[in-house]
Structure 1
């Protein structure tokens, strides 16, 4: 998913310095493009510790770049950005950028008369300023999500607050608005992308309060925007800094894989003999899937839903302020304001879509719950315990996993052995190379120093674990430079907690006509490797990784004139479609085979560790066996109705809180109760409310970063964009996913365009017709 800093969403041109992020997960709260995953693990020592075939020794360099790198390292024509910020420099640089940008605005306002106002004299200087500012501003705001230095994170948050405040100031400059208005009325013949920029700039001023009369109303609107900015930063900071957890004995964690348990903090003193389970994904999800004690799963789920309760009042205040601001502008509610500029255009379109999908899925969801409940009953009674008649939220991951293992012979742990993080990433990059005509070259060691403008290798990354690639076109596409790709894959304290794609520097055309190349980063939280195993990806993590890399590729291959429209800067209900379409490669037998490599083949140390546990089992095949692939693909739509109903819960809750009938309705709404009640009604999974605790037992909305980061009145886009993504895949790629001709056509027709033209136009050009929902509903078995 892509998350945007809330206040840059509707601000004019020079405010386009938004961070593009992307969180993920599957069931507990939000779900990013589709799941979460990805870290690169250094290989263990290459010393031969036990006999193993020669093919089992492969160096890290070979794993990541052998088939991708050209014969000789090429120095990119553009140096990578530096990550040398300090708490003092980040704030100072932010103030410097603001002063420079304000000076550009002041100069335009001073030098251009109403009669002389045109695109070139008014909007173009502001666009160039936005482009230049983004080269630094994105990184200044990025530190809060990745730095290990709490003071630097705080400074980065302060930098974003300063930028947001300046953005609000700039968005409400009446002198500039009048000049842009005059430029619009000139009706000049412009390049289509310039025309879109002019139209959007004009509309954004109106949507930011300049359609209101000067005085109390406009002042109130500005105050609301500033307060919303403060809340958004505080809300996300609370999520980033969250470091809670629970202590359990090993007995209470029975069933949880040893790989997980071995990585948990060991207790001392009052917690002697216990292990500390955090709410980070590598701890949380395996516990909910494998812990055999339902009391443990219950405790974990409820605690996770209450891990950021300081955000409860912030979320409610946000809803009130958004609604007030929308009504000041003449909209009936915030949803009407936000959806107006999306593909859906109206809340009714969204409500009808979500309602229709809910109706189609409800019966299937009820049948799935019935089947899973019967499995739970059989399991409980086999332990000579009394079945309680309920199928709880904390039961679902556990029995969903049990069903896959028992009924479909699907062993997630076994499958994960074939997807070590390093080789899986290599395989994914090779797929992108083949279908899009790209080359990825990992930059390591002395090569980093060669291209660093500081001469220091460490300055081109923000943490020692980060990998960086230079990306090029292959010979067939001209061999030119494309940009930089960064991978930051393991969890650490203070780091952004989901999976996200951050634009670090956008691409655009510079004043001299040359192209500025983009830099993009994947920030993820995969389990770290151990001495005995590399980081291994479950299949749903493989899908998430492919999806997130898809966002990164979108960011890299985009070629727009203005940074405003670069890459994933599209409307929210389309932006997920390109990456969602690419997920289909992870359900294609030939591609699963090419992505796989059993971890025991990577080094003698790994082979020895595998052999210690395997006993007399024969050595595993290097690639995933066909039988496992067949079993995996059979499960693609197992319990899919429940999964999509949970997605509907998020989307319908989002609309419910942003589409009140009047302002008093949102004042009186009990947000947490609404969140939990809708989940029960839509997904039919029991929570503590059925045990007499009421619907206020958890506060999932306080962890719902999507609704504070750009997906407000837009979460439905995860489902609606699947209509487009499924249509594209089935119409173009299903029969031959590795079709190079169609892959390049997709690159240049869809990905390269970014948001530079109407997204529906982009879809029609690629499909050769209007998009249809038929493939989406067929895929879900609803047609």
Structure 2
């Protein structure tokens, strides 16, 4: 269907990405100084007895909005810029913003005014978002040490906060800049898809790696190799290389969890988990731990049964004489893939041929456009906006980037919504996982003028070759839907304050909207509409779709046990018995022993006291350093909410535009501007339930969270 005609000009041009390292730092310092002046003016002009939301909180919030329109872009460079100097400057800018945030949150002169406003807030009529802002702002000051009496302990707390910011920045830099790989003989890559092998770096004829191929530890190389390499020793070497690709992060991680625990105790909490959960939907560590342990106990038997079946497959594959009775961590992707192919006729390589990246993206945007009342248009400066340059220079940061303008459809008024960027291929120095980044929030400025959002989907799919486009396996399709879910959430959110915009909800809810959209990847009609073979233009066959759907819960016990592994590890390191216990922790041994113990998949056989210290996987991803601390369980809890919404509202008619728009206005538009449980209850018309989650897993008995 042809796109609807849109207004000729958008009311706002897209962000510019024309900064230099120097300008990033200059702009950061300017914004910090601007903010400091606003804070000083509030303190100067407001008396304790006359403090109100309007004269105290509102000027601070309006300044925060103005700063966000620039600061999000400034700190985004570190994730995607091809210029190492720009990435470094962006990290330095983030550090400066963080240090200023600590300084702000420890200003007692501001806190006493905000405390007075909170105590007298019943005398003001505040909307729900403003009341929430007041409460969270007050809590921010307490959480940053102003509940600690002035003196040595408060100063110690301030130093901890500053050091934690430095550790996070260095940790992320190490991940982004990671460039390790492993040199392998061509025969060691037997079974790996040819298009993967073809793009690997070849050793120089006059060097030590002559005739060898260099496999990188990035997703497009790593996952196909682990799924297809026939040589078990190859898979073992690649697995261990991946688990040890960023070992310099281990001391940073362990220092972080020690400092977090110390900070929580200074604030009067027994541990960091209790401190972090206080503001979540699930507020009690006991409730989280009970949920995780209950799910673990109910999945344990299934996991063992799944391993038994996979062992039989491995035995048949290797032959009785070679089979050693073990099923290793590096076996799982390989034999899971083989099981799907042999027992369910699911060949991910063949399936991927029906999902070339660019055509799939267009089909996804059209589908969700119809559902939510949006139109995504390839960005054309001449048609869409007045820009003197008359070209795309400055509006993208790399030639790979695609830019779309987003509009309401005709039925919803045809108004401009915002800008969507797609940065989908890996490159050196780029953020190495998949994520959505907001570079400009949507909000109303102090004069009532609307500012429109700009958001970026950052992924790392395989690059096209001279003979093939980038092709998406089904799990990559699910990932793309997930990240697009964040992007749509970011676009349609309408909040007064930038801190509540889009995905800025409490952590154990923010994944729910994206996880909800993953269900479309398992619906027959949606899969057909999304698919188009890269050579023949044919849609995927009904037989292939039905085989794929039948395979949905194959080895799902092991999948969720792996999720539980990380979630339980996260809770354990942030809920130690004592501070002395966390100071003595070996995070890698704990991480790996839990991985083996919870999933029952075997790691390398190392003898001695440190038999689990064969890798350092806890530092190969950013979540536990970057905001998901004592919050990784949120992926599982959010899944409960996501499936409850889907089964209740969308399963019967996934493309119902009436329900899609109701979901857009009642869930996505709200962002974090009201308590998330209220958002859920308003939409569902009842309290959320666990039945759909357990039903989807094939566990019929539901228990409350």
So what's the TM-score if we normalise by structure 1? 0.88
How far apart, CA to CA, are the structure 1 residues paired with 2:73 and 2:461?
23
2:366 to 416, 419, 430: 430
1:208 aligns with 2:124: no
In structure 2, the partner of 1:770 is: 687
The alpha-carbon deviation at position 701 of structure 1 amounts to 1.3
Residue in 2 aligned with 1:63? none
Alignment of 1:581-620 (within 5 A): 581-601=516-536
Query: 1:217-366, aligned counterparts within 5 Å?
Result: 217-268=153-204, 269-366=207-304
The equivalent of 1:554 in structure 2 is 489
**Post-superposition offset of 1:455:** 4.9
Contact 1:80–1:451 (CA<8 Å) still a contact in 2? no
Instruction: Count the aligned residue pairs.
Output: 695
Q: Any idea what SS the aligned residue of 1:271 has?
A: coil
Distance, in Å, in 1 between the alignment partners of 2:388 and 2:372 is: 30
In 1, Cα distance between equivalents of 2:631 and 2:387: 40
2:454 aligned partner:
519
Q: Does 1:368 find its partner at 2:306?
A: yes
Please state how far the C-alpha of 1:691 moved relative to its aligned partner. 6.7
1:486 alignment partner, one of 412, 417, 421:
421
Secondary structure in 1 aligned to 2:376? strand
Given the alignment, which residue of 614, 617, 638 partners 1:700?
617
In 2: Cα distance, 1:451 partner to 1:685 partner: 58
Distance 1:282 1:691, change over 3 A: farther
**What is the CA–CA distance in structure 1 between the aligned matches of 2:359 and 2:325, rounded to whole Å?**
45
Q: Look up the SS of the partner of 1:459 in the other structure.
A: coil
Q: Does 1:196 align with 2:132?
A: yes
> 1:668-712 deviations in whole A, cap 9, x for unaligned?
121110000001110000001467771011111121310011100
SS of 1:696's equivalent in the other structure is: coil
Q: What corresponds to 1:577 in structure 2?
A: 512
**Structure-1 residue corresponding to 2:59:** 125
State the 1:493 CA deviation.
0.8
Q: CA deviation at 1:203?
A: 1.1
2:90 corresponds, among 144, 153, 156, to 156
Q: After TM superposition, give the deviation of residue 70 of structure 1 in Å.
A: 3.1
C-alpha displacement of 1:69: 3.3
C-alpha displacement of 1:600: 0.6
- The answer (yes or no) to whether the contact 2:105–2:141 under 8 Å persists in 1 is yes
2:471 to 533, 536, 543: 536
Separation of aligned partners in 1, 2:197 and 2:353: 18
Range 664-673 or range 361-370, more displaced: 664-673
**Corresponding residue SS for 2:662:** helix
State whether structure 2 residue 579 is matched by structure 1 residue 644.
no
Q: 2:378 aligns with which of 421, 442, 448?
A: 442
Residue 755 of structure 1 corresponds to 672
Q: Indicate the SS of the match to 1:483.
A: strand
Q: Which residue of 2 aligns with 1:392?
A: 328
Q: 1:732 aligns with which of 633, 649, 663?
A: 649
Work out the CA distance in 1 between the residues paired with 2:655 and 2:151.
60
**What is the root-mean-square deviation in Å for CA atoms of aligned residues?**
1.3
SS in 2 for 1:457: coil
What is the distance in 2 between the residues matched to 1:445 and 1:484?
A: 12
Q: Does 1:177 align with 2:111?
A: yes
1:492-507 aligned at under 5 Å gives the runs 492-507=427-442
Kindly indicate whether the alpha-carbon contact (under 8 Å) linking 1:458 and 1:464 is maintained by their aligned counterparts in 2: no
Tell me the TM-score normalized by structure 2.
0.97
Matched, 1:413 2:312: no
Superimposed CA distance per residue, residues 145-187 of structure 1 (whole angstroms, 9 cap, x where no aligned partner): 1111111111111111111111100111100001101111222
Residues 539 and 386 of structure 1: is their aligned pair in 2 closer, same or farther, counting only changes over 3 Å?
A: same
Q: Shift of residue 452 of structure 1?
A: 3.8
Determine the C-alpha separation between the residues in 1 that align with 2:215 and 2:601. 24
How far is the alpha carbon of 1:716 from its aligned partner? 0.2
In structure 2, the gaps of 5 or more residues are 701-705
Q: State how far apart, in whole Å, the 1-side matches of 2:416 and 2:215 are.
A: 44
Q: Answer yes or no: is the 8 Å Cα contact 1:446–1:457 preserved in 2.
A: no
What is the deviation of 1:453?
6.3
